[in-house]
Amino acid sequence: MTEHQLDTLLSEQRRFPPPEGFARRAKATTALLQDAARGHQEFWAEEARALDWMRPWDRVLEWTPPHAQWFVGGKLNASVNCLDRHLAGPLRNKAALIWEGEPGDRRVLTYWDLAREVRRAANALKQLGVRKGDRVAIYLPMVPEAVIAMLACARIGAVHSVIFGGFSAESVRDRVNDAQAKIIITADGGYRRGQVLPLKRLADEAMAHTPSVEHCIVVRRRPGGEGDESFAGMTEGRDHWWHRLLDAASAVCEPEEMDAEDLLFILYTSGTTGKPKGIVHTTGGYLTQVATTTKYVFDLGPEDVFWCTADIGWVTGHSYVVYGPLANGATVLIYEGAPDWPERDRFWSLVERYGVTVLYTAPTAIRAFMKWGTAHPARHDLSTLRLLGSVGEPINPEAWIWYHRHIGGERCPIVDTWWQTETGGIMITPLPGITTTKPGSATHVFPGIVAELVDNTGRVLQAGGGFLTLAQPWPGMLRTIYGDDQRYQDTYWSRFPGRYFAGDGAKLDEEGYWWILGRVDDVLNVAGHRIGTMEVESALVEHPAVAEAAVVGRAHDLKGQAMAAFVTLKDGYDASPSLKDDLKAHVSHKIGAIARPDDIFFSADLPKTRSGKIMRRLLKDIAEGRALGDTTTLADPGVVNRLKDLYEAQEA
């Protein structure tokens, strides 16, 4: 965030009390806050009782810092909570999923349909040898089979590891190997802006180096895709068509009885080293937190059509496309493609067609809509919307107000929700119907959550700026990093002993409102996607021309942050525009298009401290066109001035 953005954020004076009609009917009431005030364990236990348990828990929490166990001794199954328990009543024949593909194809699955498909998929997995505790990688576009596959894993106690469909073959390979997955579920393709992304072909590239994988299941997404070798290239004995397996599978499948602390999934996310972290989530606590936050933050019930626009490859898709809304018996809309395909009104035509009542999206998307102009939403009837949500990065007040006015028709409360892959569910958020919102502020902690602002010595601050920490364990918290508990302890619990450090800077105002300022570590947030600078740097230095690379974020109007890479070349290589393009393509190929640098700058040197550490802060100053900060600790202060001149020349 630039200083200018920070200033506008903090001078924000507008207040939006909850609309009266909304407040009267809202699921979250002030009684809820009072319950939570009586004790956080009792609060979560009360909420957990709303789930179906096969065996009740003995103890709510066992806390041996930094390891927590929630609902100790309790047994349940996540798929039963999302599906079976709705089948006995009026939800049986109600839409669970409404899906629209980018080309305009459509499917609706009722709760009954979804439950049947999940049981058949679960049997298909079993037939391929998947047992409780085995890992299954899911590398799919946004199609109903993605949801079915996740719940099928949950049904038999397999651990899913969903890999975003935009990741490269190498990213898939690394994640599959880290988790030692037995199965990859993919598709022949997925649609994005009219193009077909050849997922199976990428999976094949990955599978050349993933010895743990025994079978690959392929969803036929492309019409007539079967038999088209160039897209699916089925390997006899290893690869199987999804529809054939399911056609042959029984629809009877008893759910596995899972311990509350059995793994539900692993989800990889970027950190400050080159290697992504496998964030581990377990069953009972996670499900309790996502079901509870969905109910109160999105005020969600069976009559709603909920559209969370996130891909299931991210945690938002896990918690608020799949587990939270389905546990609440809501109707979930999923859309496969891009918001500007074929026209820039695609989102609004979806809202109108399906009568979406609650929309949850990211500030980067809202800023793009602002740029595209109000004519697109104005052309559609958005009057079914009653609540709007935002997630992924700080929302600037201008975008908040635009969202409120042009999408929410000034009648919908906005919930700006702060949380992370690691937290599992929403942590800081308004409660619609209770909270008076301020544009740009995520407002207050969710009931049962204890967040504290600390200074750099760990002292708790009542107001002002500092670091966002969590002072008590919460049910949806990550349990560890898969295969690397030491990294879990070091990353989250060592900076401020006894506290979880989120990696975010924040401010608490005089009225106790939280303002999240963004990451304070070497993690970027580009268009709501979390990217480690080290990952991109490692990809760059693998290119034969690159000697050294440093990646920094710079403020960007639409994406929040853009990525600038400073690169020094090996002898014998010349800086040229075509080499820039080559390096960008190289990073896309290594990691995925989301990690493609926006700018590349060639330089003979990089500014370093005397101990050899690259001073990213100075590079950020240069990339954002600011006067240079303190350069006294540099080994060679001349480097940075030369670099600044060069940067400005290359930019011109």
Handedness of CA 339, 349, 148, 483 (dihedral sign): positive
* Interaction between residue 308 and ligand WT7 (CB under 6 A): no
Per-residue contact flags (x/-) with ligand WT7 for residues 313 to 332, judged by CB under 6 A = --xx----------------
* Interaction between residue 522 and ligand WT7 (CB under 6 A): no
85 and 52 in contact (C-beta within 8 Å)? yes
* Interaction between residue 425 and ligand WT7 (CB under 6 A): no
Nearer to ligand WT7, 337 or 392 (CB): 392
Stretch that binds ligand WT7, among 293-301, 431-439, 515-523, 628-636 (CB under 6 A): 515-523
Contacts of ligand WT7 in 567-586 (CB under 6 A): none
Q: In what order do the strands lie in the sheet with 159-162?
A: 239-241, 215-219, 183-187, 135-139, 159-162, 263-269, 277-282
CB of 475 to ligand WT7, least distance (A): 16
The single residue among 95, 356, 391, 399 that binds ligand WT7, judged by CB under 6 A, is 391
Per-residue contact flags (x/-) with ligand WT7 for residues 472 to 511, judged by CB under 6 A = ------------------------------xxx-------
Where helices occur in 29-110 by DSSP H, the ranges are: 30-37, 40-48, 78-79, 85-87
* Interaction between residue 525 and ligand WT7 (CB under 6 A): yes
Phi, psi (deg, nearest 5) at residue 627: -60, 150
- Cα separation, 634 vs 636, whole angstroms: 5
Report the 10 Å Cβ neighbour count for 55.
12
Nearer to ligand WT7, 357 or 396 (CB): 396
Handedness of CA 70, 74, 79, 83 (dihedral sign): negative
* Interaction between residue 418 and ligand WT7 (CB under 6 A): yes
Question: CB under 8 Å to 462, separation ≥6 — which residues?
Answer: 453, 508
Stretch that binds ligand WT7, among 198-206, 517-525, 550-558, 606-614 (CB under 6 A): 517-525
The single residue among 144, 392, 413, 466 that binds ligand WT7, judged by CB under 6 A, is 392
* Interaction between residue 162 and ligand WT7 (CB under 6 A): no
Where helices occur in 143-186 by DSSP H, the ranges are: 144-156, 169-179
Comparing CA positions, the residue from 651, 643, 41, 106 lying closest to residue 354 is 106
Nearer to ligand WT7, 269 or 288 (CB): 269
Number of residues that bind ligand WT7 (CB under 6 A): 22
- Cα separation, 536 vs 518, whole angstroms: 19
CB of 477 to ligand WT7, least distance (A): 13
CB of 311 to ligand WT7, least distance (A): 11
* Interaction between residue 111 and ligand WT7 (CB under 6 A): no
- Cα separation, 399 vs 88, whole angstroms: 43
What separation in angstroms does the CA of 221 have from each of 90, 103, 154, 232, 238?
32, 11, 23, 10, 19
The single residue among 47, 416, 522, 537 that binds ligand WT7, judged by CB under 6 A, is 416
Nearer to ligand WT7, 215 or 519 (CB): 519
Comparing CA positions, the residue from 80, 85, 53, 49 lying closest to residue 156 is 80
607 cis-preceded (ω within 30 degrees of 0): no
C-alpha 522: how far from its chain's center?
A: 18
* Interaction between residue 446 and ligand WT7 (CB under 6 A): no
Stretch that binds ligand WT7, among 122-130, 140-148, 386-394, 553-561 (CB under 6 A): 386-394
CB of 347 to ligand WT7, least distance (A): 18
Where helices occur in 389-451 by DSSP H, the ranges are: 397-402
The single residue among 260, 516, 539, 545 that binds ligand WT7, judged by CB under 6 A, is 516
CB of 394 to ligand WT7, least distance (A): 4
Contacts of ligand WT7 in 257-286 (CB under 6 A): 269
- Cα separation, 88 vs 103, whole angstroms: 35
- Please give the residue ranges that form the binding site for ligand WT7 (CB under 6 A): 269, 315-316, 391-394, 416-421, 442, 502-504, 516, 518-519, 525, 530
